[in-house]
Structure 1
Amino acid sequence: MDRIDTRFLMTSDQLPSNIKCSHFALPSASLTFRDLAFHLQVTDKTAGRKSRLLRKTILEPCSGHIDAGELVALMGPSGSGKTTLLDMLAMKKTAAYEGEVFVNGKQRSRKLFARIAAYVGQEDMMPAHWKVREAVMFNAYLKQNSARMHRSIDEWVDLLMETFGLTVVEDSYIGGEAVRGISGGQRRRVTLARGVAAHSSLLFCDEPTSGLSATDAELCVKALRTICKRLRVTCVVVIHQPRSEVAEMFDKFVLLTSHPGRVVYFGPMCSAEAYWRERGHPLPQNVNPTDYFMDTVTPGTRTDVSKALVEDFDKYQKPFVLAKVDEVLEQSDTGMSIKEMIRSAASTRSSAGAKRISSKLTGDDWVGEYAVPFCAQFNQCLARKVKLTLRNPQALGLPICVPVAQGLLVGYMFLGTGQKPFDRQIMFTFCLVTILCLAGTMGLIVLITERTLMKFESGEKLYSEMAWALATQLVDVPLALTGAVLNVIIMILFAQMPARLFADILAWSLLLFAVYDSMFAFVGAVAKDTRQAQVLASPLVSLFMLFNGLVVTEKDTPTPLKWIFFISPNAYAMKGITCTLAHQKEFKDSFVVTAALQQMGMDCDSSQALRGVIILACLIATLRIGQFLGLKYLNAPKR
């Protein structure tokens, strides 16, 4: 047939719906894309010795329009580019791509798009000791206008908890490998609820039903359909061959074939079976429709007719799809821009009886990259960090218990050292410095794990990297500092050092601790993963432990390597504490002490101590600045 049946062009407003729109409904957002395509540069392995780059097409140019409030299924075999298309629509694709995406017919704003859109990946990235309601509330607060009443936010979260079937587990932990919590299906619904809680008119989901039971998968899609109709959320879902009951919940169906990715169907889900029949490929009896559709577009299968279906799409559907895209873009003046949507959401998403936003605030006051100011971001990150730390005995106890145990063990080994010869006191100093510089290594794995969550959440514009870093350091540093102080105090008491030396030894020890804490924080920010972090940290620690003025002295070091002493925190700490010990009355005129200091090349002048303090302070500042820059600009998820 030469003309496409109009059923294949039916839009969501023609579909019956028994779900009423809520007064919490979000500003409508239609999604239009034109000529989206993605190519990779790959090395030609057949080019012999001379390597040559070839252009490999992952997704051929495709266009389409999705109406506001539609639930869209995006399907295709491996290599069809369905996740690539989703990432481009969600503005998560980090590699360069071709084409344009429009919201309500207007070019989307790179800066503001994340304010109205949420992306739900395949993994549920949430802390194990977080409670369900807290997780949803976190997103609601951080994507909520600062002038909104808390009562309105609570009602909004109540609605989402009910919609996603989470009310009965709202006080349960998310859970993880070592923490008992909710089920996998419930965890997935929490992730989806967090996406909607961010007041997102657009929701992009990458295989939200992957790994779930049939029942949990149906509950997830049913909840998505409910929020699409009640809240006017436009939702695009990459999904893998859902059963027929689940497939029927989708308004639209986009099917791609692979190698390269090309569209073979773009229309209502309810009309797909008729379309295949009219193309000469009727659905066999007792076969799941989506399984059959996938078989017809998967290269290598017995029923593969992907080439014919691509030609049919170009002939029967594509002209109408392109005409719809042109029509929407021509009428773009009637649609709301993203900035207007944000203003509308902030002024209308309030519960009955809640106070209106102050007239002193204009739209421009609250239309920015983030929904709430820096202080609010910091407060939410800090509150979460404190709660998670208090609930996790390991996170609370290890930074204190391990240093205390080390202090008791090593302190007992040097029992009474303060009353022994100078060389024995130097060995005590060496052990003290060594323990302090190794203390931070155990926190690297936790730091990088938390950073992974931060990069995802900051990518959703919930908060800035700086807000997270400050909140995290405000909790982690005092805990680690407490452990270091107890460690040093215990060792000094066991060694029976003179009381007048206590302050100086403690000060140099804590200054050394601060340098290494900053160094490990820097490594945790710039390293790609825990393995790379250990590769970066180990040589630095070993180098500084070697060039510490005792194992290798500055006097005996070759000139080209003397610069290492200038940046070695161990050398400054060893020198500072050793000179403090040398100033004891009983060592003041000792030939042995003088000879030992000369052997190590140590000048105990007070100006040298001040110089060391200044250099270590500069090291701390430099490493902290490097940490913040690394968190902001490095290790973003690559898509």
Structure 2
Amino acid sequence: MEETKPKLDSPADLEALPDAHLLNEAVNSFSFEELTATVPDKASKGERRIIDNVSGIIQAGEMVALMGPSGSGKTTLLNLLARRINNVTSSGKIHVNGDELSRSTFRRISSYVEQEDHLIGSLTARETLDFSAKLALSRSISGAERRRRIDALLASFGLVGNQTTLVGTPIRRGLSGGQKRRLGVASSLITCPKILFLDEPTSGLDSVASFEVISYLKDVCKKNRLIVICSIHQPSTATFNLFDSLYLLSQGKVCYSGPVTETSAYFGGLGFEIPHFYNPAEYLLEIINVDFSQNKASATEQLQTIQSAWSSSGELKALGQSIATAKENRTEVTLEPPKTRNQMFIPLVLLHRSFVKSYRDVFAYGVRIAMYLGLAIMMGTVWLRLSTHQDSIQPFVNAIFFGSAFMSFMAVAYVPAFLEDRASFIKERNNGLYGPASFIVANFLIGIPYLFLISLLFSIVSYWLSNFYPSGTAFMYWVMWLFLDLLAAEGLVVLMSSIFPIFVVALALTAFMNGLWMSVGGFLVSPRILNVFWKYWARYIDYQAYVFQGMMVNEFSRRNYQCGSDCHCMYSTPLESQCMIDGKGVLEVYGYKTGKNGEWAGILIAIIFAYRLLAWAVLKIKKT
């Protein structure tokens, strides 16, 4: 049944976006010729074409839909057009104003909006655009100009009334799905690109919200003469009719490309009349979809007929002539020289954004602070007021192991927060905003004060309740070891989550590595008898081992213990004749020496930076 055009809840007066950074402002056309993409085919041991000889031309002010069944190649084509393909073999030519552009120039005039929003839920709509502007433009424009761009985008996408509303977190409601998608598009327009690519901009939205997003987008497109290219799955009738042109794909080949208004006449001429009161997008997808047809042979023959008709059509010939004309009338796209960006400014912006997130989003550090305080209370009450009798020596050792190993183990709680930050980084890196170095530096710096606060609060509760050596110096050494322990543990989380950015996998591997470090750290198996295979490599890079021995020396190098009324001492030390145990005798059993705090702390700092350096290398190599 034909759908009526939904009415927007609160349409805003659209404003023109600020001028782009083009000297030759007009990007009049975007054309592509004979685009082909192939991937290895294991079945045939050859290559399989997922995009097959696709050509087209799009004029400024047009909004184009790439549509087709699942697996038709529309997302691959979108990535080819956006020049973001890394894992397929591709060929063909892409022109802007009939001219081939370098990748760097093309990136400066285009922007890409991914299917997932990857917005930071603890920021407001205005803050999201403000941070995007600071990252994209650095200090190349004034604060007044940045605010002007933000105001224009908020007005253009109907977000003025929601500019102080949070995007939304799991425990705090914020923008609606349609508003989030509009905000995601607006943040990509902050640099005033002339070509905008969108991957499934209506994914996960109902028909009303989908229409809302595309309607705002079309108004911005027309008013600012943008070229907008969207991959879209199955739009409603109202949403489908908003597009100017359609590229219909199936099995990597074009079935139709041209104005949306002419689809009915074209397919009617082939014998495929679109029924009255029927969603045209749905009907077109049905007649070119082979995968779910009950009679695949008949469906395949029908699809080949449609594709053959297009390959010999007059419309395709006219398209080729338009591409040739654009090349003949080639005009150079001239950009202003890129302004020097203050690279130190970007980590500061990221640090500011992370700080806002950290105190608003309880999942970032708030939950962890509460969790560690609960752990401290549990530890302090289980190992409550241990005495200086020899019977308390082993409980002291156990408490030290618990305080060091389990604190680092619980750092796995940081995995979801880091994965959210990483998703934002990948999106922003792909749009050329900054690189992995800035991200890693900002991520490391924001954690330092919170991890120190956690170390201090945990120690204030557990250290004195358990009756460790009552000295201010000893207490601060304990805090230092715990702080370095947490820094290393968080570095391990960052590394594992960078290699495997899947929540369950990152969680499991981080837990596994912490289990390994516990096993070889010196408590469960004495370093004196540890298997040589583990002793001569794992133990030396085990940050928990250095923390454990540092805490052991901190406690037992300062204290003597009573043997009991019968003077039967568990450890033989020079104080045995006095019915006492010198704590250094306990250290000798484990093979720990005193006076090495500086060396161990230095090794821990090296491990901390090694984790971050490895994470940087992983993010540098991996593009997704």
TM-score range, shorter chain: 0.7 to 0.9
| Equivalent residue, structure 2, for 1:573 | 547
Aligned counterpart for 2:278 among listed residues 283, 287, 294:
287
Q: How does 1:73-472 map to 2 (within 5 A)?
A: 73-96=65-88, 97-144=90-137, 146-256=139-249, 258=250, 260-299=251-290, 300=293, 305-315=302-312, 316-332=314-330, 334-336=331-333, 340-341=334-335, 343=336, 363-366=337-340, 372-417=341-386, 419-421=388-390, 422-472=393-443
Distance, in Å, in 2 between the alignment partners of 1:595 and 1:146 is 61
Distance, in Å, in 2 between the alignment partners of 1:170 and 1:204 is 24
Alpha-carbon deviation of 1:626? 0.9
Of 74-83 and 394-403, the range deviating more from structure 2: 394-403
| Equivalent residue, structure 2, for 1:31 | 30
Distance, in Å, in 1 between the alignment partners of 2:521 and 2:378 is 23
Per-residue Cα deviation, 1:578-619 (whole angstroms, up to 9, x for no partner): 233333364684354455333322333x2x444323322221
Distance 1:244 1:382, change over 3 A: same
Per-residue Cα deviation, 1:177-211 (whole angstroms, up to 9, x for no partner): 43211221222221222222232211111222233
Distance, in Å, in 2 between the alignment partners of 1:465 and 1:28 is 33
Q: Is the 8 A contact 2:379 2:462 kept in 1?
A: yes
Distance 1:219 1:557, change over 3 A: closer
Q: Among all aligned residue pairs of Structure 1 and Structure 2, give the percentage whose two residues are the same amino acid.
A: 24
Distance, in Å, in 1 between the alignment partners of 2:137 and 2:78 is 25
Distance 1:432 1:378, change over 3 A: same
Amino acid at match of 1:325: I
| Equivalent residue, structure 2, for 1:524 | 497
Q: Is the 8 A contact 1:25 1:232 kept in 2?
A: no
| Equivalent residue, structure 2, for 1:61 | 53
Amino acid at match of 2:112: Y
Alpha-carbon deviation of 1:145? 6.4
User: Does residue 600 of structure 1 match 2:600?
Assistant: no
Alpha-carbon deviation of 1:540? 2.2
Amino acid at match of 2:448: V
| Equivalent residue, structure 2, for 1:7 | none
Q: Is the 8 A contact 1:21 1:231 kept in 2?
A: no
Distance 1:246 1:431, change over 3 A: closer
User: Does residue 70 of structure 1 match 2:48?
Assistant: no
Amino acid at match of 1:452: A
SS where residue 86 of structure 2 aligns? coil
Per-residue Cα deviation, 1:268-318 (whole angstroms, up to 9, x for no partner): 222333333444544443334334433443334899643333223222222
User: Does residue 498 of structure 1 match 2:470?
Assistant: yes
Alpha-carbon deviation of 1:255? 1.7
Of 589-598 and 81-90, the range deviating more from structure 2: 589-598
Distance, in Å, in 2 between the alignment partners of 1:280 and 1:431 is 75
Distance, in Å, in 2 between the alignment partners of 1:473 and 1:603 is 32
Alpha-carbon deviation of 1:552? 0.9
Aligned length: 578
Of 195-204 and 505-514, the range deviating more from structure 2: 505-514
Distance 1:612 1:319, change over 3 A: same
Q: Is the 8 A contact 1:115 1:143 kept in 2?
A: no
Alpha-carbon deviation of 1:451? 1.2
Amino acid at match of 2:366: G
Amino acid at match of 1:102: H
Distance, in Å, in 2 between the alignment partners of 1:470 and 1:41 is 38
Distance, in Å, in 2 between the alignment partners of 1:283 and 1:410 is 71
Alpha-carbon deviation of 1:529? 1.4
SS where residue 37 of structure 2 aligns? strand
SS where residue 24 of structure 1 aligns? coil
Of 555-564 and 290-299, the range deviating more from structure 2: 290-299
Q: Is the 8 A contact 2:415 2:503 kept in 1?
A: yes
SS where residue 578 of structure 1 aligns? helix
Q: Is the 8 A contact 1:74 1:237 kept in 2?
A: yes
Per-residue Cα deviation, 1:352-398 (whole angstroms, up to 9, x for no partner): xxxxxxxxxxx2544xxxxx432332232222222222222443422
| Equivalent residue, structure 2, for 1:590 | 575
SS where residue 107 of structure 1 aligns? coil
Distance, in Å, in 2 between the alignment partners of 1:415 and 1:573 is 22
* RMSD over equivalenced CA pairs, Å: 2.7
Of 59-68 and 96-105, the range deviating more from structure 2: 96-105
SS where residue 553 of structure 1 aligns? coil
Q: Is the 8 A contact 1:436 1:484 kept in 2?
A: no
Distance 1:583 1:145, change over 3 A: closer
SS where residue 570 of structure 1 aligns? helix
Distance, in Å, in 2 between the alignment partners of 1:569 and 1:292 is 61
Distance, in Å, in 2 between the alignment partners of 1:292 and 1:427 is 69
Distance, in Å, in 2 between the alignment partners of 1:278 and 1:68 is 29
Aligned counterpart for 1:515 among listed residues 469, 485, 488:
488
Distance, in Å, in 2 between the alignment partners of 1:364 and 1:159 is 23
Per-residue Cα deviation, 1:39-78 (whole angstroms, up to 9, x for no partner): 221222xxxxxxx523222221111111122111222223
Alpha-carbon deviation of 1:241? 4.0
Distance, in Å, in 1 between the alignment partners of 2:557 and 2:235 is 78
Of 473-482 and 499-508, the range deviating more from structure 2: 499-508
Alpha-carbon deviation of 1:23? 7.1
Of 299-308 and 225-234, the range deviating more from structure 2: 299-308
Q: Is the 8 A contact 2:17 2:149 kept in 1?
A: no
| Equivalent residue, structure 1, for 2:570 | none
Distance, in Å, in 2 between the alignment partners of 1:387 and 1:612 is 34
Alpha-carbon deviation of 1:528? 3.1
Of 576-585 and 470-479, the range deviating more from structure 2: 576-585
Alpha-carbon deviation of 1:418? 5.9
Q: Is the 8 A contact 1:554 1:601 kept in 2?
A: yes
Structure 2: where are the runs of 5+ without partners?
Answer: 1-12, 562-572
Distance 1:570 1:288, change over 3 A: closer
User: Does residue 613 of structure 1 match 2:584?
Assistant: no
Distance 1:146 1:586, change over 3 A: closer
Distance, in Å, in 2 between the alignment partners of 1:22 and 1:424 is 71
